[in-house]
Amino acid sequence: MNTKLIKTGKTVEGKEILAVELTNTKGTYVKIYNYGAIISEFVVTNKQGKKQDIVLGFDEFDQYVSEDYLAAYPYLGAVVGRYANRIKNGQFTLDGKAYQLAKNNGADCLHGGVSGFDKKVWEVLSTIDPSLTLRYVSPAGEENFPGTLTVDLTFKLTDEDELILDYKATTDEATIINLTHHGYFNLSPEGGSVKDHIHRMPASNYLKQDDNYVVDGTLIPVEGTIHDFLAPKPIGQDWDPQEGYDQTYVLDKEYGELTLASETSEPKSGLTLAVYTTEPIAHFYTGKYLDVKNGRNGSGYNAYEGFCIETQHHPNAVNIPTFPNTILRPGEVYSQTTIYKIEPTTIS
């Protein structure tokens, strides 16, 4: 097991950009930047015995902050917060006080606003083999959220090919919080559309969304719909090819229990990505809006060439009293664990 810290020689807003490489005894390798807590590379061994990167990303750090990339920004590999997904009209009320957030996605607030945790330089707290702990302190009023929020995020790579993400957060006054990781995965050795990946999710219900993908609190059974992944099937089997999936699923689980959120396999590589989480929700996104130039090895990333499993609390929950609580108060600790585990193909 090995952890290596690399100075990139780059800065953002005067803060040093560092890369941290985690490698296990199997040669599985993960590269993480302290900017946005971005997982830039996740290299595993496929069934042909070849090394394969299963996440979308860039060869050079500068590409993550380039004007072209930010103009059609897809949050490649980043942690998003202070509040993942969409908040209706960018508005919420907390302890009787109304807050107006940025409307950075139509009329709504998406992924924490204009400059969320995905665009921040995190402090490297420790690099103990084989793990990395990052910290970001979000000051009160940042993106108009109340309270100073301190977030610690630990990445740990095991010899079982598990990449474990452990989140902890505290605040000095009441605030709202909903964190997730926005990695795009593609398990094919050749890249391209993920429509033939085999996918399943233990989720009997999904959440109704408006035309801008904002949920209103209504649960809809997946049975008899294109959203039914209770049994394994190709991602593209039932989808609208002009839309793909951008849908929030309610996992069949006990609240807070660490269980399977999804399992996705690709026959050519023989790889399966299993995602486990303590969170109640998995937002499944197949990259309709992907439009990235000069990705890994100079290749572009187009629509439907990556999928995201965004584990989190219910979107817009701060405005829907029947949803699980996303309010954090002084003296409380927000915690979440999500695991990305690479396994031999088990579903077909």
**pLDDT tens per residue across span 305-333:** 999 999 999 999 999 999 999 999 999 99
345 pLDDT exceeds 80?
no
CA 334 from centroid of its chain's CA atoms = 17
Residue among 79, 90, 89, 139 nearest 113 (CA): 90
> What's the domain range around 96?
2-344
Facing residues of 94 across strands? 97
Is 182 marked active-site? Answer: yes
User: Please, what is the average pLDDT of the chain?
Assistant: 96
Q: What is the pLDDT of residues 104-128, one digit of tens each?
A: 999 999 999 999 999 999 999 999 8
Show the tokens assigned to 4.
């290596």
Q: With 70 as the cut, is the pLDDT of residue 77 above it? A: yes
* CATH number assigned to the domain comprising residue 194: 2.70.98.10
CB of 208 within 8 A of CB of 220? yes
Task: Decide: pTM greater than 0.95.
Answer: yes
Mean pLDDT in residue range 189-216: 97
Report the domain count for the chain: 1
Give catalytic status of residue 310 as yes or no. Answer: yes
pLDDT (mean) for 256-277: 97
Greatest alpha-carbon span in the chain: 59
Residue 269 has pLDDT above 60, yes or no: yes
Residue from 41, 310, 313, 314 carrying the catalytic annotation? 310
Active-site hit among 111, 181, 182, 197: 182
